[in-house]
Structure 1
Amino acid sequence: MSVRIRLALTCGGLFLLSGVVLLAVNYILVRSALPPAAAPAVRSFGGTMTMPGQPGPEPPDAIGTGSTPESSGLTVVSAVRSYRGGVLNTLLVQSGVAIGATLILALLLGWVVADRTLRPVQAVVATARRLGADNLDARIRLRGPRDELTELADTFDEMLDRLAASFDSQRRFVANASHELRTPLAAQRTLVEVAMGRPGAEPALRELGTRLLTMNVRIEALIEGLLVLARSDRGLAARQVVCLDEVVETVVDTHRAVAAEAGVDLRWERTGRDRSARPPDLVWGDRVLLERMVSNLVDNAIKYNRRGGTVWVRDGRDPVLWVANTGPSVPSSSAVDLFEPFSQAGRGSRGAEPGAQPGAGLGLSIVASIVRAHGGSVRAVPRPEGGLEMAVFLPTRESA
């Protein structure tokens, strides 16, 4: 039950309680003001029964022929009782109807008052839901008199200011550090290649140079991944309509040679190859980042596989992209941690084979960041036979 309903019911319940108490007090007061039902003070004047405060005795003929003092007294008592009962019943019925009608009005007014009172809280909730990596500048900026609700909204805005400053500082540091590291790495790679290319270079020197170049390539891949991660975390600066089918086709064609070298069968299972049967998926976003997302998923499926294994790639409506592979088993408890930076989550990889290049641990983190920037979600599910199933859900647009 929502707070708005509880407040409306509370207002109605308090009003009903007040109405019942008021009705009980009025009932007691009216009952005490009415003449008593019994007639203990009936007096006889010349054989005629009279009530206190009534006119003097009438002549016997005025009472009526055949009437007696006892029957006259009973008639008066019966009339008084009927009068009291009618007045009290009328009071209860009319007051009950009035309380019921006013209770409905109180519930409606309580609903309206609760809605107006909770409107600032709804603004806080709406702002919190809109917050993301690409719109940390969203603020409540609640207007109105200074009270507890405006103080809550201002405190929330101040917290968002601190968070935005912290995120921006961290992203700038990662981007700047990555850019600064590119130059010395490029110089280092050039020096190693020149040393290895000298005439008469010893075999030990060449072996050492090969190892240094291998480490250099891995560090450059790590820095490139940090740059992409920092860019996607900042959100999308510009958007365009991207045909996801074309992106998947380009990535799959690019990775066929890599898959063949690794001894992995790369299969593209496009849902409905005929465009007339299924319109292509159109995503409103950044083509470069989307291509990097698909590339990382396919590359990850090839790298964390076994020789003779298989990679399946399928694009469709829901999810828009599905990538599965064979390979080592992954615990279900570690599937969520795969999207954390530098996480391996207990997966085996071809990195253990001679000559294979281990991953930098940023591929799936970049995928998750790009998906979030496009307003979607990604899910990893371990396969019972080994390997993983990656499902990407993105908001799509109908093709023209």
Structure 2
Amino acid sequence: MRFTLLYGAMFLLSGIGLLAITNLVGLGGTRTSQSAPPGTPPTEPTTLTAATDRIAWLQTQLSDTHTAQSRQLLIGSAVALMIMSVVSVVLGRIIAGRVLRPLRTITAATRRISADNLHERLAAQGPADEVKNLADTIDELLERLENSFDAQRRFVANASHELRTPLATMRASLDVALAKPEPIPAQTAALADRLRTELDQIDRLLEGFLTLARTQHGALTDRTTLSLRQLANTALHSRATDITAHHLTVDLSADPAGTTDDSAWTQGNRTLLTRMIDNVIDNAITHNHHGGWIRLATTTDATTAQLVIETGGRILDQEQVTPLAQPFQRLSADRTHSDNGSGLGLSIVAAIAAAHGGTLDLHARTEGGLRVAVSLPAAAVPTETAA
């Protein structure tokens, strides 16, 4: 629109200038024609009175003719100016579209290129002008991004083996040292238990790093249709011992908003979605007070499948809850009376949800506790399940 107005104004000003010059030249020629050409001898009148009347009549005729010509010229100029206004807008629109067409093509192609098809290029054709230079610069940027993503994927592929091997060696060395037949000093046994605990914590932290990196920088493959309700039930069943140890009450009733529970079908990678729900359940169990409760609900609408898990507890500040989706963000240790978490649990949940086109919403309940809602694109119920 700005280019249309700019080009239209330029065409219109050019038309106004052209009409102004035409009017000045036309009116100047008309005024010049009122006087007799120089060097022409005057005609001798028959009588002075007749000559005077003749001159007055001629002057009147010339004045009327000049007025009529001026009026016709102004009317013609006004009509031409109106026509020129319309033509200017049309021409401005055409030229603006022509100028911006390559930029629209570049914009559409750039939006189409994502992390999964960074190998594509704009490959703009045409003369070496500013637009082609812009397209070539974007191609170079895409090449650097592709190399960076490839490096990240190679790191994720190799880091698991390279980093887990020293941990396994250290754990095996501890087991060998403790398995010797001679008596082990109590202080040594306590130190070995402490080291084994720290190694387990490092192992969990490493696993969280790798999952987060794989989710953020890896291609999402092996999609299948899954039920969030079934995955959540499996996670709760496998953690029945921990739930009992904390004396927690699990409520699988309907969502507090009044919507009906269902299986909440979605499409995604089974391993990642299982890890996502496991982290949410672990967070609800670990970050809960003794004798507390967990409420789980799944809902589905036309476009979204949602898993909602609520826990009770003390009243939390929303400003403290919101950053929990970022790595290494924790609430104060007095919430759980422990600080054994790696600070990656909910950040992994957020990354997996984002990789599947969903969102993670963390909300501090006004009654106390936390509400965790994972929303993913809904999928149709599998045929065999519906049957």
TM-score class, shorter-chain normalisation, is: 0.7 to 0.9
Give secondary structure in 2 for the equivalent of 1:381.
strand
How high is the TM-score relative to the length of structure 2? 0.80
Q: Report Cα offsets for 1:194-249 as digits up to 9, x if no partner.
A: 55566655544443333233222222212222222222121213323333333333
**Cα drift, residue 34 of structure 1:** 1.8
Q: Decide whether the 8 Å contact of 1:259 with 1:302 is kept in 2.
A: yes
Residues 52-107 of structure 1, C-alpha deviations (whole Å, 9 max, x = no match)? xxxxx7xxxxxxxxxxx64x665544443333333223223333323323332332
Specify whether residues 28 and 302 from structure 1 end up closer, same or farther in structure 2 by C-alpha distance, changes over 3 A only: same
Stretches (4+) displaced over 6 A: 36-44
Equivalent position of 1:30 in the other structure:
26
Pick one of 78, 95, 100 that aligns with 2:82: 100
* 1:339 alignment partner in structure 2: 325
* Equivalent in the alignment of 2:46: 46
Q: Is the 8 A contact 1:341 1:361 kept in 2?
A: yes
Could you tell me whether the CA contact under 8 Å between 1:330 and 1:346 is conserved in 2?
A: no
Secondary structure class of the residue paired with 2:128: coil
- Pick closer, same or farther for the CA change 1:263–1:80 going to 2, 3 Å: farther
Q: 1:152 aligns with which of 111, 134, 142?
A: 134
Match of 2:100 in 1: 118
Paired residue total: 371
Give me the CA root mean square deviation.
3.6
Deviation at 1:15, TM superposition (A): 1.0
Match of 1:16 among 12, 17, 26: 12
Residue pair 1:134, 1:235 contacting (<8 A) in 2 also: yes
Residue 241 of structure 1: aligned partner: 225
Match among 149, 164, 169 for residue 182 of structure 1: 164
Q: Where does the alignment leave 5 or more consecutive residues of structure 2 unmatched?
A: none
**The residue matched to 1:380 in structure 2 has which SS?**
strand
- C-alpha change, 1:179 and 1:40, in structure 2 (3 Å) is same
Query: Structure 1 length as normaliser, TM-score?
Result: 0.78
**3-state DSSP class of the match of 1:320?**
strand
Say which is worse superposed, 287-296 or 389-398, in terms of deviation: 389-398
**Contact 2:266/2:380 (8 A) holds in 1:** no
Counterparts in 2 of 1:349 and 1:279: CA distance versus 1, 3 Å: closer
For 2:101 and 2:235, the matched residues in 1 are separated by 48
Distance 1:152 1:91, change over 3 A: same
Paired with 1:132 and 1:394, the residues of 2 have a C-alpha distance of 20
Provide structure 1 residue ranges, at least 5 long, that are not aligned to the other structure: 51-56, 58-68
Match of 1:379, SS state, is: strand
Q: Which residue of 1 aligns with 2:271?
A: 288
- Structure 1 pair 345/35, CA: closer, same or farther in 2 (3 Å)? same
- Rounded Cα–Cα distance in structure 1 between residues aligned with 2:226 and 2:305: 16
Q: Give the alignment of 1:1-400 within 5 angstroms.
A: 5-35=1-31, 45-47=45-47, 70=53, 76-130=58-112, 132-193=114-175, 195-196=177-178, 201-233=184-216, 234-270=218-254, 280-317=263-300, 318=304, 320-327=306-313, 331-344=317-330, 346=332, 348-350=334-336, 352-353=337-338, 358-399=340-381
**Percent of aligned pairs with the same amino acid:** 34
Deviation larger for 170-179 or 11-20: 170-179
Change (3 A) 1:84 1:348: farther
Q: Quote the Cα distance in structure 2 between the aligned partners of 1:124 and 1:325.
A: 48
Change (3 A) 1:334 1:121: farther
Structure 1 residues 370 and 136, CA gap change in structure 2 (3 angstroms): farther
Aligned residue for 2:119, secondary structure, equals: coil
Relative to 1, partners in 2 of residues 1:82 and 1:242: Cα closer, same or farther, differing over 3 Å? farther
- Letter in structure 2 aligned against 1:208: L
Alpha carbons of structure 1 residues 105 and 40: separation in structure 2 relative to 1, 3 Å: closer
Q: 1: CA distance between counterparts of 2:49 and 2:4?
A: 58
* TM-aligned CA distance change 1:110 to 1:389, over 3 Å: farther
Once the two structures are superposed, what CA deviation does each residue of 1:116-168 show, in whole Å capped at 9, x if it has no partner? 32233334433444455444434322222211111112112212222332333
Cα distance in 1 for partners of 2:17, 2:219 equals 61
**Per-residue CA distance 1:1-55 (angstroms, 9 max, x = gap):** xxxx0001000011111111111111111111225798999999335889xxxxx
Task: Tell whether the 8 Å contact from 1:376 to 1:395 is kept in structure 2 after alignment.
Answer: yes
- Does the CA-based 8 Å contact 1:37-1:84 persist in structure 2? no
Give the match for residue 54 of structure 1. Answer: none
Cα distance in 2 for residues equivalent to 1:141 and 1:269: 56
Native 8 Å contact 2:292 2:313 kept in 1: yes
CA shift, 1:348, in A, is 4.6
CA shift in 2, pair 1:175/1:248, >3 Å: same
CA contact (8 A) 2:9 2:88 kept: no
